[in-house]
Amino acid sequence: MTDAIDQDLYQRTKALLEPGEIELNGAIIRTEYGNDEDVQMMQATIDIGDIIAEHAGYDPADCYVYSGNDDPEFSSNQHQGLTLEDDEFVWECQQLLREGTFDIVIYYEASADHEAILEEISDLGYEVTGVEGS
């Protein structure tokens, strides 16, 4: 685990992956984006979501980001990647402002290529910590 990610955030992320309807893996991505860089933060989320979509067997062009602004169950920095055709789950994330910069906590089906996802996120220049579900 990278030093940039604290143990509490890792454990909270791990708890999100607890067994449910589908098996999940996740990642914690450390950015340098501050509160006033929301456009860059959203673009990072989209880029990371596209990586996940590819490694989960989807064409990123066939997916969209749902931000839940019409859903009281969603927080303002919570987003989902869904397929255009049938709104199938691809990924979900929270953007957390911590110590002045954002961390992205994102999770996706465990059938996606977890190691390839982490490697490509790292190749974008972000510090990333993988979190595997059960």
pLDDT at 2: 45
Annotated domain spans of the chain: 7-132
Per-residue pLDDT, 4 = 44
As a whole number of angstroms, the distance between CA 41 and CA 18 comes to 27
pTM for the model stands at 0.85
CA atoms within 13 A on the CB side of 120: 15
C-alpha to C-alpha distance for 79 and 100, rounded to whole angstroms:
20
**What pLDDT digit, counting tens, does each position of 52-109 carry?**
999 999 999 999 998 876 666 655 678 899 999 999 999 999 998 888 999 999 999 9
Measured CA to CA, the distance from residue 29 to residue 103 in angstroms comes to 5
- Decide if pLDDT at 119 tops 70: yes
pLDDT of residue 98: 84
